[in-house]
């Protein structure tokens, strides 16, 4: 089985499972977030040696998981927004990986040799495709959010950019340690941090924008 096939298979298992725990909420969500926290903490202390790196990654991990729990249980924050943000990050990652593999354009940076400029466009493109899909879903449901408004189009591109920067940030720390992945728990992806590297930064930004009443 190729790495791409492993990546797709893992995503097909992890995504529905993650959404299930988010939908259930309560103790189910606490259990899931605790599991992610423990696995991420193990990777942080086991893989990284620099104290400042460990402190930074651990802080970001704790904040992002807490904010997921907070936003999931805040009745003023529409659940569709949380799912939109999470799947947007996944779409951005898939778009970058897919376009990078197909078009193989110029390298983006030495920090992560596999990242390409075509991958950047792929991330934006897949994120916008997901925006259109979630807009259709919001029309079916009872949410009064116009996802195709200028605000959410800009937010989609901005969140995708932050997700890519988050990916590069974790790649930078891995490069300092001379490692490829933070773990092997997720076939085709690596460790927990390899999977949620962009999401943890976007979730924190989402929380800040919500507190500032910029969203919804």
Q: Tens digit of pLDDT for each residue in 7-60? A: 667 777 788 888 899 999 999 999 999 999 999 999 888 888 888 989 999 999
Block residue for tokens 């949410």: 143
Q: How confident is the model at residue 212 (pLDDT cuts 50, 70, 90)?
A: very high
Contact predicate 90/84, CB 8 Å = no
Rounded Cα gap, residues 94 and 67, in angstroms: 24
Q: Is 202 exposed, middle or buried (0-12, 13-18, 19+ CB in 10 A)?
A: buried
| Residue 3 confidence (pLDDT) above 70 | no
Rounded Cα gap, residues 111 and 193, in angstroms: 16
Query: What pLDDT shows up at residue 125?
Result: 96
Rounded Cα gap, residues 59 and 38, in angstroms: 13
The pTM assigned to this predicted structure is: 0.90
Rounded Cα gap, residues 69 and 116, in angstroms: 34
Rounded Cα gap, residues 117 and 24, in angstroms: 38
Block residue for tokens 């529905």: 16
Instruction: Please give the DSSP secondary-structure letter assigned to residue 190.
Output: B
Rounded Cα gap, residues 115 and 171, in angstroms: 10
Beta-carbon count within 10 A of 151 CB: 14
């Amino acid at each position: 089985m190729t790495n791409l096939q492993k990546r797709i298979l893992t995503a097909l298992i992890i995504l529905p499972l993650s959404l299930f725990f988010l939908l259930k909420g309560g103790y189910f969500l606490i259990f899931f977030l605790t599991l992610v926290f423990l696995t991420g903490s193990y990777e942080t202390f086991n893989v990284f040696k620099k104290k400042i790196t460990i402190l930074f990654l651990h802080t970001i991990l704790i904040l992002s998981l807490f904010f997921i729990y907070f936003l999931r249980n805040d009745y003023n924050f529409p659940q569709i927004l949380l799912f939109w943000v999470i799947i947007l990050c996944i779409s951005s990652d898939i778009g970058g990986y897919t376009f990078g593999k197909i078009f193989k354009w110029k390298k983006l940076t030495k920090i992560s040799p596999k990242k390409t400029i075509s991958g950047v466009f792929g991330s934006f493109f897949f994120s916008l495709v997901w925006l259109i899909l979630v807009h259709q879903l919001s029309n079916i449901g009872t949410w009064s959010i116009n996802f195709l408004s200028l605000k959410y189009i800009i937010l989609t591109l901005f969140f995708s950019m932050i997700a890519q920067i988050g990916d590069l940030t974790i790649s930078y720390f891995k490069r300092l340690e001379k490692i490829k992945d933070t773990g092997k728990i997720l076939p085709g992806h690596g460790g927990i941090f390899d999977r949620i590297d962009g999401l943890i930064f976007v979730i924190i930004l989402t929380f800040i924008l919500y507190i500032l009443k910029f969203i919804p």
